[in-house]
Structure 1
Amino acid sequence: MTKRITSQPRTVKVTRYVSPLREGGSMPAIAEADDDFLYVLKFRGAGQGVKALIAELIGGEIARLLGFKIPEIVFAELDEAFGRTEPDEEIQDLLKASTGLNLGLHYLSGSITYDPVVNTVDSLLASQIVWLDLLLVNMDRTARNTNMLYWHKELWLIDHGAALYFHHSWNNWEEMAKKPFKLISDHVLLPLAAELDQVDEDFQAVLTPEAIENIVALIPEEWLCYDTPFEHPETHRDAYVSFLKTRLLNFENIIKDAQHAREILI
């Protein structure tokens, strides 16, 4: 995998609502922007609010830095008048609640969902993906919902909105940063992940404290002002940095627990 440099996402303006994607509870949609590209749009007014957008941004950009194939992430401006002509009342309410800055991922037209029965992933790539999801406490890479696509014969990772789930309450987050991720036993690739120790050595050399700070710095300040126990947006931002740094410092035990879970499965 090739290391990528983290850069500020582009900002686009949404010009056309194309169609809903009703697979998830957050009601994402395919939308067109003023650059004439299609995006999978994640709305700030959906059930999980800006927390899902923050998880998507942090998770996706960490994955990109580590060399995974990730659709381009953009900030997507939604005008307050955008939803007035939408005939579906539920979608209209969602659009009205999402005025302002949302998040989009480049739409991979023609992609095919990864199927563990049909598709194969080698041990190294499986270990790399499991490592990423251990770090992000991402519960949403299961056989039921793999959140992986094949596009142009390459495996792409999508949808990290369910990662970092502790931030929906921030209860005991400092302790959670140190603890194993028990839900990793449900990970679709865990049985194949035989090279976690080597991946840990490789990835920790790339995901430095400075790199973590740079990625978390991408979060728009306005997203850090909603539904937060922190008094200041920068304190909120610092908590994400602290969680990720602390987790990496405790990753030896986290990996051992995942390896034990794998042994039980195989």
Structure 2
Amino acid sequence: MDKILVTGANGQLGSDLSDLSASYSEFEWIFADRTKITLDDLELLGVQLNEIKPDVIFNCGAYTAVDKAETEKELAFTINHLAVELIAKYAFENSLKLIHISTDYVFDGSSSSALSEEADTNPINTYGESKLAGELACLKKNPNSIIIRTSWVYSKFGNNFVKTMQRLMQERDEINVVNDQIGSPTYAADLAKVMINIIRSSNWIPGIYNYSNEGEISWYEFALSIKELGGYKCKVEGIESSLYPTPAKRPRFSLLDKKKIKETYNLQIPDYKKSLKKMFIQLKS
């Protein structure tokens, strides 16, 4: 029985993997929070990996506070770069399968068409820089790794855009949401299933893959879908990013081209609205 180690167990993706794990009893699951896998202490991390001795690693743990990363650069790079490098090296030396999760923030947002895995990377904030450094280190130390870039992740677990919008739309009469950042949301439960399916398939093709739900929308349009599904009365106005300055810049366009993962693993990726509806149903149940 293969032992799967999931880092970042308390995050959105880790929580959805935990939720699904009971349906995949052919694996032994180890869900590691910060106390079991310490991504900001590399010496301890090496010891912990040797103690757990996994057969598969799902590296979902990351420093994801995008704005805070601008002032906590060293910590962001330790977790998103150096810890990834160590995990990849460990996986290679012990012949493990490693799926590492990355982000659309490795791009600068200047494209106007969906970004393939080969598109030029050029992060415009510290978080994106640290995640790109992690990708490069991962593939250098372990060319057998699979890296999945994803975008706009949300889940019934944790804090995310969907839950924030649900709360604000019930508290306020009117809200503003940026309308000039384009991409596609990712329902964490969908991505979790894809990761498990990759491990269960006999088709292990290393490299970088893109994954998000289908659809090309702005955050404003995403908010309108949340309003519609929730039946909220709140007025939603679209505004330009320049009217909502943040410490870290965001890419204006980061729609991911999913052709490679769809063809390699024979996937049918749900439309974003279909998955959003699923989350609403799950939150009510």
TM-score range, shorter chain: under 0.3
Task: Tell me the TM-score normalized by structure 2.
Answer: 0.25
Task: Tell me the TM-score normalized by structure 1.
Answer: 0.26
